[in-house]
């Protein structure tokens, strides 16, 4: 296993999100070979260890003790000890503890290696049937309604696919608020219990999914990811685009550069703006 100089090493190890067979061979090897595994819930990690006959000592490392545990772990990393960090499921630091430790380790030049694997974000996205070329991960929406609505409203103009984690007892309220902001017709997917026995995926328009959740066809239990299609980019007013281009051309900014800046400001295709900028430059010379 990797190790640099006298420093130890910290492995950030992804573990299954349900099906224990999803632990990678390398994850298994690393978990066997490190000195200590830092685990969000040592009993849950023990279940995984039993399945793979791993007997490495574990130490509790969770959101309530991460700050106080980090100096202890760091001191041992600097003495040359090897640690692996795991969370209850999926990839550590993705809505799970580890950020404080990884940052501290990096700032002390301790090597930090990833052992990639499952995460509910990418698992849900990969089967959603919604665009995956650009997406934004929003974690959990706020539990209380006014803050949740504000959080969704901030995404009103989002054109990328959005991925949310959601608690099962809040799925109906969350879908109602998503529908209120994004509209009845926005496509979405609810991915439940991925890789587990009762895995189920529901796809459709938000109003349809909300009806299904309200009448219990989408069970309000288990672990849930909600994926929502991004909105259509708002059309940019041509007068406004022209004004942006004209202002730059008046300042004698070259046509290509003006088109590039306008593309960033308006979200419109650069080549279309280039053609328009050439027309405007021609007008101003006429």
Contacting residues toward ligand SAM, per CB under 6 A: 17-18, 87, 89-91, 94-96, 119-121, 165-166, 191-196, 223-225
If the CB atoms of residues 94 and 261 are measured against ligand SAM, the closer one turns out to be 94
Contact in structure between 185 and 207 (CB atoms under 8 Å): yes
If the CB atoms of residues 136 and 195 are measured against ligand SAM, the closer one turns out to be 195
C-beta neighbour count of 71 within 10 angstroms: 11
If the CB atoms of residues 8 and 117 are measured against ligand SAM, the closer one turns out to be 117
If the CB atoms of residues 94 and 236 are measured against ligand SAM, the closer one turns out to be 94
User: Minimal distance in Å, beta carbon 180 to ligand SAM?
Assistant: 21
User: Minimal distance in Å, beta carbon 113 to ligand SAM?
Assistant: 17
Residues 6+ apart with CB under 8 A from 56: 31, 32, 33, 34, 35, 36, 37, 49, 84
Contact in structure between 181 and 156 (CB atoms under 8 Å): yes
Query: Of the candidates 119, 132, 171, which has an alpha carbon nearest to the alpha carbon of residue 148?
Result: 171
- CA–CA distance, 235 with 246 (Å, rounded to integer): 19
User: Minimal distance in Å, beta carbon 15 to ligand SAM?
Assistant: 9
Contact in structure between 108 and 73 (CB atoms under 8 Å): no
If the CB atoms of residues 94 and 260 are measured against ligand SAM, the closer one turns out to be 94
- CA–CA distance, 163 with 188 (Å, rounded to integer): 10
If the CB atoms of residues 8 and 90 are measured against ligand SAM, the closer one turns out to be 90
User: Minimal distance in Å, beta carbon 170 to ligand SAM?
Assistant: 10
If the CB atoms of residues 36 and 91 are measured against ligand SAM, the closer one turns out to be 91
In this structure, the dihedral spanned by the alpha carbons of residues 195, 200, 205 and 210, taken in order and rounded to 10 degrees, is -120
Phi-psi region of 216 (alpha: psi -120 to 50; beta: other; left: phi over 0): left
**Closest residue by beta carbon to ligand SAM:** 90
If the CB atoms of residues 115 and 248 are measured against ligand SAM, the closer one turns out to be 115
User: Minimal distance in Å, beta carbon 167 to ligand SAM?
Assistant: 6
Tell me the Cα Rg of the chain.
Answer: 25
Helix axes 145-153, 171-182, angle to 10 degrees: 40
User: Minimal distance in Å, beta carbon 223 to ligand SAM?
Assistant: 4
- CA–CA distance, 258 with 254 (Å, rounded to integer): 6
Backbone φ and ψ for 257, nearest 5 degrees, come out as: -70, -40
User: Minimal distance in Å, beta carbon 222 to ligand SAM?
Assistant: 7
């Amino acid at each position: 296993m990797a190790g640099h100089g006298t420093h130890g090493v910290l492995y950030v190890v992804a573990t299954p999100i349900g099906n224990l067979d999803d632990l990678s061979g390398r994850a298994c090897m690393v978990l066997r070979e490190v000195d200590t595994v830092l685990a969000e819930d040592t009993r849950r990690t023990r279940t995984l260890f039993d399945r793979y006959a791993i007997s490495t000592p574990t130490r509790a490392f969770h959101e309530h003790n991460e700050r106080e545990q980090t100096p202890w772990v760091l001191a041992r990393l600097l003495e040359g000890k090897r640690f692996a960090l795991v969370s209850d499921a999926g990839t550590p630091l993705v809505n799970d503890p580890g950020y404080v430790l990884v940052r501290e380790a990096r700032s002390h030049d301790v090597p930090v290696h990833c052992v990639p694997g499952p995460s509910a974000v990418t698992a849900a996205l990969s089967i959603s049937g919604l665009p995956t070329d650009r997406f934004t991960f929003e974690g959990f929406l706020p539990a209380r309604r006014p803050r949740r609505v504000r959080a969704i409203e901030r995404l009103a103009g989002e054109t990328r696919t959005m991925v949310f984690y959601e608690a099962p007892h809040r799925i109906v309220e969350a879908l109602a608020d998503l529908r209120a902001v994004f509209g009845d017709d926005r496509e979405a997917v609810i991915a439940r219990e991925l890789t587990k026995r009762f895995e189920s995926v529901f796809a459709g328009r938000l109003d349809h999914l909300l009806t299904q959740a309200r009448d219990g066809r989408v069970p309000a239990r288990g672990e849930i990811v909600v994926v929502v299609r991004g909105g259509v980019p708002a059309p940019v007013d041509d007068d406004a685009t022209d004004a942006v281009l004209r202002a730059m051309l008046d300042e004698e900014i070259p046509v290509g550069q003006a088109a590039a800046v306008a593309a960033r400001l308006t979200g419109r295709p650069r080549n279309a703006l280039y053609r328009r900028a050439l027309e405007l430059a021609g007008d101003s010379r006429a």
